[in-house]
């Protein structure tokens, strides 16, 4: 690809919109690892007239909650922790969605039964997916029309070097990041392993920026307030969050 630096602005709705993932199964893990090292340096803009395409939607496993109020995120969490990201890996799910798998060490616990020192696996629907993987993921689905339209719009000779950006402008977690996670148990968990997802994806994360400042990043498409201020995040202190956690847990006893 000839140094194209761009962000996918069309078809992001295929990987978002609250759809649950049909994660590819293997004998060991609930995913197929793929696409390590993918990044924005070779992402690609694809222009497709999606108005004429009917895209089947799956039923979300997540309850509908108002993500604009952080109290709702707290109340829907099964576990709230302060943890350090130790490892981040990419994997792809059926239907053209990019996911990341993170190994997180629990540093502090504010809600739930996860103990400091424990290592947990957090999965999130975000990241980058190669164009080849994206196209091939539609080969055996009922969205063949979308696949064919993409093939018509992508230079075949460049497809092997291109990726689609499905981050929606939210920074990807990196090894070494410290984050307050509001978590619930992922429906991808099985009888042997438990996987966690942030409640509301981006809404369930407060990234430690230093100086007692934690940032909750918003998707660029949903950040009206952030765009007006020239930012796509809002900040809180750890004391503010701890007080909220304690208050909401006390209130829950009387509900």
Please report the DSSP string for 214-243 in residue order: EEEE--GGG-HHHHHHT-SEEEE-HHHHHH
Does residue 20 have a pLDDT over 50? no
List, for residues 44-69, the tens digit of each pLDDT value.
444 333 333 333 333 334 557 788 88
Q: In whole angstroms, give the CA distance from residue 117 to residue 115.
A: 6
Mean pLDDT of 217-241: 73
Q: State the pLDDT at residue 210.
A: 95
Mean pLDDT of 16-43: 39
List, for residues 71-84, the tens digit of each pLDDT value.
999 999 999 999 99
Q: Which of 168, 87, 90, 82 is nearest to 117 (CA)?
A: 82
* Secondary-structure percent of the chain, ordered helix, strand, coil, rounded to 5: 25, 30, 45
Q: State the pLDDT at residue 15.
A: 37
Structure tokens, 105: 């060490």
Q: What is the pTM assigned to this prediction?
A: 0.71
Read off the pLDDT band of 116 (50, 70, 90): very high
Ordered by start, the domain boundaries in the chain are 12-252
Of all residues in the chain, what percent carry a pLDDT higher than 90? 36
Q: Taking phi first (over 0 means left), then psi (-120 to 50 degrees means alpha), and beta for anything else, what does residue 253 get?
A: alpha
């Amino acid at each position: 690809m000839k140094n194209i630096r761009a962000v996918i602005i069309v078809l992001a709705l295929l990987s978002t919109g609250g759809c649950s993932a049909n994660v590819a199964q293997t004998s060991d893990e609930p995913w197929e690892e793929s696409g390590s090292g993918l990044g924005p340096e070779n992402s690609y803009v694809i222009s497709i007239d999606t108005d004429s395409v009917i895209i089947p939607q799956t039923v979300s496993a997540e309850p509908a909650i108002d993500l604009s109020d952080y109290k709702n995120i707290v109340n829907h969490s099964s576990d709230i922790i302060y943890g350090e990201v130790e490892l981040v890996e990419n994997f792809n799910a059926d239907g053209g969605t990019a996911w990341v798998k993170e190994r997180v060490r629990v540093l502090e616990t504010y809600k739930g039964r996860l103990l400091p020192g424990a290592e947990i696996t957090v999965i999130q629907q975000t990241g980058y997916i190669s164009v080849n993987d994206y196209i091939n993921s539609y080969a055996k689905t009922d969205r063949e029309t979308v696949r064919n339209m993409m093939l018509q719009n992508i230079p075949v000779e460049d497809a092997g070097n291109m990726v689609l950006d499905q981050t929606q402008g939210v920074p990807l977690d990196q090894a070494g990041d410290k984050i307050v996670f509001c978590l619930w148990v992922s429906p991808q968990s099985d009888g042997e392993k438990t996987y966690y997802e942030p409640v509301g994806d981006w809404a369930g994360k407060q990234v430690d920026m230093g100086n007692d400042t934690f940032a909750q990043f918003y998707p660029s498409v949903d950040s009206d307030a952030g765009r007006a201020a020239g930012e796509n995040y809002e900040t809180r202190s750890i004391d503010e969050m701890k007080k909220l956690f304690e208050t909401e847990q006390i209130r829950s006893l009387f509900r």
